[in-house]
Structure 1
Amino acid sequence: MSRTVLVTGAAGFIGAALSQRLLARGERVVGLDNLNSYYDPALKQARLRQVEATASKGAWRFEPISLEDGDALTALFAEERPDVVVNLAAQAGVRYSLENPAAYIQSNLVGFGHILEGCRHHDVGHLVYASSSSVYGGNRNLPFHERQPVNHPVSLYAASKKANELMAHTYSHLYGVPATGLRFFTVYGPWGRPDMAPMLFARAILAGEPIKVFNHGRMQRDFTYIDDIVEGVLRCCDKPATANPDFDPLQPDPATAAAPHRVFNIGNSQPTELLSFIEVMEQALGRDAIKDFQPMQPGDVVATAADTKALEDWVGFRPSTAIEAGVAQFAEWYRYFYGV
Structure 2
Amino acid sequence: MVGDRALVTGGCGFIGSHLVERLLATGIGVTILDDMSNPFPGTPELINRPGVRLVAGSVLDATAAGEAVADANMVWHLAANSKIERGQEDPALDLRTSVMGTQTMLESMRQHNVSHMVFASSGAVYGDLGSGLCNEKAGPLLPVSLYGAGKLGAEAAIAAYASTFGIRAHIFRFGNVLGTRMSRGAIHDFIERLLANPDYLKVWGDGRQTKSYFLVEDCLDGMAWACQHVRLTEEEPVQVLNLGSSGGTSVAQIAQEVLAAVGRPDLPVRYTGGARAFAGDQPVVHLDVSRMDELGWRARMSSDDAVRTAVARIVESRGAHR
TM-score normalized by the length of structure 1: 0.85
- Specify whether residues 336 and 155 from structure 1 end up closer, same or farther in structure 2 by C-alpha distance, changes over 3 A only: closer
**Distance across 2 between alignment mates of 1:261 and 1:150:** 19
Other-structure match for 1:317: 297
Instruction: Please say if residues 241 and 261 of structure 1, whose CA atoms lie closer than 8 Å, have aligned partners that are also in contact.
Output: no
Match among 244, 263, 273 for residue 240 of structure 2: 263
1:242-278 per-residue CA deviation (whole Å, 9 max, x = no partner) reads 248xxxxxxxxxxxxx440111111112201221121
Which of 238, 244, 253 is matched with 1:276 structurally? 253
What residue number does 1:74 align with? 66
**What does residue 21 of structure 2 align with?**
20
Q: Would the alpha carbon gap of residues 153 and 336 (structure 1) be closer, same or farther in structure 2, given more than 3 Å must change? A: closer
Residue 93 of structure 2 is matched in structure 1 by: 103
Secondary structure of 1:200's counterpart equals helix
Q: How does 1:160-309 map to 2 (within 5 A)?
A: 160-193=150-183, 195-207=184-196, 208=198, 210-239=200-229, 241-243=231-233, 258-288=235-265, 289-294=267-272, 295=274, 296=276, 297-309=278-290
Structure 1 partner of 2:41:
46
CA distance in 2, matches of 1:99, 1:241: 40
* Alpha-carbon distance in 1 for matches of 2:45, 2:187: 21
Q: What's the offset of the Cα at 1:239?
A: 4.5
In structure 2, the residue corresponding to 1:86 is in which secondary structure? strand
Unaligned ranges ≥5, structure 2: none
Compared CA separation, residues 328 and 311, structure 1 to 2 (3 A): closer
**Distance in 2 separating the partners of 1:325 and 1:265:** 17
Change in Cα spacing, 1:275 to 1:141, as seen in structure 2 (3 Å) is closer
- 8 Å contact from structure 1 (residues 188, 226) kept in 2: yes
Is the 2:5–2:74 contact (alpha carbons within 8 Å) kept by the matching residues of 1?
yes
Residue 266 of structure 1 aligns with an amino acid whose one-letter code is: L
* Count of matched residue pairs: 314
Assess, with a 3 A threshold, how the Cα gap between structure 1 residues 139 and 329 changes in structure 2: closer, same or farther.
closer
RMSD value, Cα: 2.3
**Structure 1 residues 209 and 104 mapped into 2: Cα distance closer, same or farther (>3 Å)?**
farther
**TM-score, normalising length: structure 2:** 0.89
Q: CA deviation at 1:115?
A: 0.7
Offset from partner CA, 1:81-108 (integer Å, 9 cap, x none): x111000001122221111112222211
Instruction: Identify unmatched segments of 5+ residues in structure 1.
Output: 245-257
CA distance change for structure 1 residues 271 and 333 in 2, over 3 Å: closer, same or farther? closer
Deviations 1:186-227 (A, max 9, x none): 11121112x311110111224415444233112111111111
Q: Would the aligned equivalents of 1:180 and 1:241 in 2 still touch at CA under 8 Å? A: no
When residues 45 and 205 of structure 1 are mapped into structure 2, their CA distance, relative to the original with a 3 A threshold, is closer
Closer, same or farther: CA 209–159 of 1 in aligned 2, 3 Å: farther
Equivalence for 1:247: none
CA distance in 1, matches of 2:187, 2:320: 17
CA, structure 1 residues 163+214, in 2 after alignment: closer, same or farther (shift >3 Å)? same
Percentage of matched positions with identical amino acids: 27
Q: Given the alignment, which residue of 138, 145, 156 partners 2:135?
A: 145
Secondary structure of the residue that 1:216 maps to in structure 2?
Answer: coil
Q: Letter of the aligned partner of 2:43 in structure 1?
A: L
CA apart distance, 1:47: 3.2
**Could you give the per-residue CA deviations for residues 10-58 of structure 1, whole angstroms, max 9, x where no partner exists?**
011100011111111111111111011xxxx4xx2523245357x4x3x
Q: Deviations over 1:103-122 (max 9, x none)?
A: 22221121111111122222
2:120 aligns to what SS in structure 1?
Answer: strand
Task: Confirm or deny: 8 A CA contact 2:81 2:93 kept in the other structure.
Answer: yes
